Amino acid sequence: MTNTSFPHADAPKRAEAVLAQLKAQFGERVSCNESVCEAHSHGEALQVSRMPAAVVFAESTADVSDVLKLCHHHQVPVVAFGAGTSVEGHVTPPEHAISLDLSRMTEVLEVNPADLDCRVQAGLTRQVLNVQLRDTGLFFPVDPGGEATLGGMCATRASGTAAVRYGTMKENVLGLTVVLANGEVIRTGGRVRKSSTGYDLTSLFVGSEGTLGIITEVQLRLHGIPEQLSAAICQFENLHDAVSTAIEIIQMGVPIARVELMDEVQMAASISYSGLTDLQPLTTLFFEFAGAPESVREQVSVTEDIARENNGLRFMWADTADERARLWKARHNAFWAAKAIDPSARVISTDCIVPISRLADLIDGVRQDIAASGLQAAILGHVGDGNFHTLIMTEDSDAGHARALDLDRKIVARALAMGGSCSGEHGVGLGKLEFLETEHGAGALSVMRALKATLDPLNILNPGKLLPEGPVFKG
Ligand SMILES: Cc1cc2nc3c(=O)[nH]c(=O)nc-3n(C[C@H](O)[C@H](O)[C@H](O)COP(=O)(O)OP(=O)(O)OC[C@H]3O[C@@H](n4cnc5c(N)ncnc54)[C@H](O)[C@@H]3O)c2cc1C
């Protein structure tokens, strides 16, 4: 495979040529303003920050196509930018790159209640989509913590607290409109629930982190709002008991809507940050049950039995919509709560996932690793999927970062040894590059590189992300 690195010397000149033409075509929708570029120079949480040459605000598929045609012609890199909530350095531009912001593409293009699907522009957030769907009795369930765009969520194959019941973006995207590196527009998939024709290009682009094409429209599966929703929490003196409870709930086949864990470090932070003053700083499971009343009663009864057998303390119920919203908001704000423990600290989040039967072993091992590291860390996560985060807090210095990364690597090594993955939902970006070969093997990685070289032979789409040691942009 050829290495298509850009010629180094004239990269600034090529970016300038592109910029002049972009300004002529897009006017004020091209910005070199320092604060706009700064906001597009990094994502959340991690990693390097680098200013783009300019930010272009797209409003249509045609805009995206025009930008890519131009950048392809001049070999200028392009980084798609949704809401910038990704946490692994995904949106940090290489030098002399265009950050292509899709957040103004927010139209709901069609809603088909009879078929439980809809088509939206990629810059729409899932929160706004759900507000717009309110009168249809339908909703879109994938709920990462940040105010992410649906295009960004496709690109990172995102999930969230409801994945245990409804699946991730992988299961909830039916089709896409994608602009390829050379500006060509293609549609993948469609509206049907299954099809056995051709390669599954939709799945190829879902999770491709803006490295194979830029998604401009998404056909989504929708779900009926359940007849009844009930949320509860149960606290535990012992983390292992809480994890065992979650595992047994899944193994028993309880169709639980959400089961989320926060350990005592995270709970102490969230009690203070989110005002959960009625709770103790003890390991806690957050549950949501959904369905017809009879089904909910049965799910609750089995779950309470399992929790009791694992030494759970009493169940506390959140029956009103407001109380439920308060609990889930506290869960979604967990990262910010941990950050508030010491606002000057750096917080690094792991994202391991293992087959559910190995989860308790992994978390026990992670606890030992945290203790040995001398660092403070909170454990929380989507334990019903076998996925959890360790929020490692460290001083904001190179030495502190190195200690946190050392702990991160130990945790990932444990997960991989148990047949797991280094990332259940956040993706690779820059932060997880080093683990890809161990996780997938050299053969699979070389197939991924061949796909990248075919779809983006000049390597202009988010170069340097997702694939380690692939064609590296050196502009
Ligand atoms: C507090 C907090 C909690 C979080 N919780 C979760 C969670 O529970 N689950 C989870 O999965 N993630 C979570 N995340 C991570 C993040 O929200 C997701 O990765 C999200 O999917 C990113 O969407 P975005 O619109 O912000 O994308 P961005 O950050 O803008 O972009 C992410 C990647 O996708 C590419 N991209 C963006 N838009 C497009 C497009 N239209 N076409 C092609 N490529 C594109 C970018 O180039 C980049 O590589 C959390 C983040 C934070 C800060």
The rounded Å distance from CA 105 to ligand 1 centre is 16
Helix (H) or strand (E) holding 334: helix 334-341
Of the pLDDT bands very low, low, confident and very high (cuts 50, 70, 90), residue 1 is very low
The reported pLDDT for the residue numbered 156 is 98
> Superfamily assignment of 228-418 in CATH?
FAD-linked oxidases, C-terminal domain (3.40.462.10)
Pocket, ligand 1, Cβ cutoff 6 A: 43-44, 79-87, 90-91, 102, 122, 144-146, 148-149, 151-153, 155-156, 158-160, 209-210, 214-215, 335, 425-426, 462, 465
- Token look-up 């000057």 returns 344
The mean pLDDT value for 368-387 works out to 96
Minimal-distance CA residue to ligand 1 atom 6: 144
The residue ranges of DSSP E strands in 292-444, in sequence order, are 315-318, 346-349, 376-382, 387-394
Torsional sign, CA 279, 306, 259, 363: positive
Selection from 180, 178, 198, 191 nearest residue 219 by Cα: 191
The model's pTM is 0.94
Asked whether residue 346 carries a pLDDT value surpassing 90, the answer given is: no
pLDDT in tens, 265-282: 999 999 999 999 889 999
Cα 462 to Cα 74: distance, rounded to the nearest angstrom:
15
Contacts of 376 (CB under 8 A, 6+ apart): 265, 341, 392, 393
The reported pLDDT for the residue numbered 250 is 96
* Residue at 6: amino acid letter: F
Quick check: 428 and 466 in contact, CB under 8 A?
yes
Selection from 190, 143, 187 nearest residue 163 by Cα: 143
Q: Is 293 helix (H, G, I), strand (E, B) or coil?
A: helix
Minimal-distance CA residue to ligand 1 atom 47: 80
Minimal-distance CA residue to ligand 1 atom 38: 152
Ligand 1 atom with the smallest distance to the CA of 168 is: 11
CATH T-level fold of 10-103: 3.30.43
Ligand 1 atom with the smallest distance to the CA of 123 is: 41
The residue ranges of DSSP E strands in 323-459, in sequence order, are 346-349, 376-382, 387-394
- Domain parsing of the chain, residue ranges: 10-103, 108-224, 228-418
Selection from 93, 118, 349, 323 nearest residue 219 by Cα: 118
pLDDT in tens, 63-108: 999 999 999 999 999 999 999 999 999 999 999 999 999 999 999 9
CA atoms in the 13 A half-sphere facing the CB of 59: 6
> How are beta strands 346-349 and 315-318 bridged, if at all?
unpaired
Of the pLDDT bands very low, low, confident and very high (cuts 50, 70, 90), residue 473 is very low
Ligand 1 atom with the smallest distance to the CA of 169 is: 11
**In the numeric block, which tokens belong to residue 73?**
């012609």
Quick check: 456 and 181 in contact, CB under 8 A?
yes
Asked whether residue 46 carries a pLDDT value surpassing 90, the answer given is: no
Q: What CATH number belongs to 108-224?
A: 3.30.465.10
Residue of 85, 350, 462 with the most ligand 1 atoms within 8 Å of its CB, for mutation: 85
Asked whether residue 415 carries a pLDDT value surpassing 80, the answer given is: yes
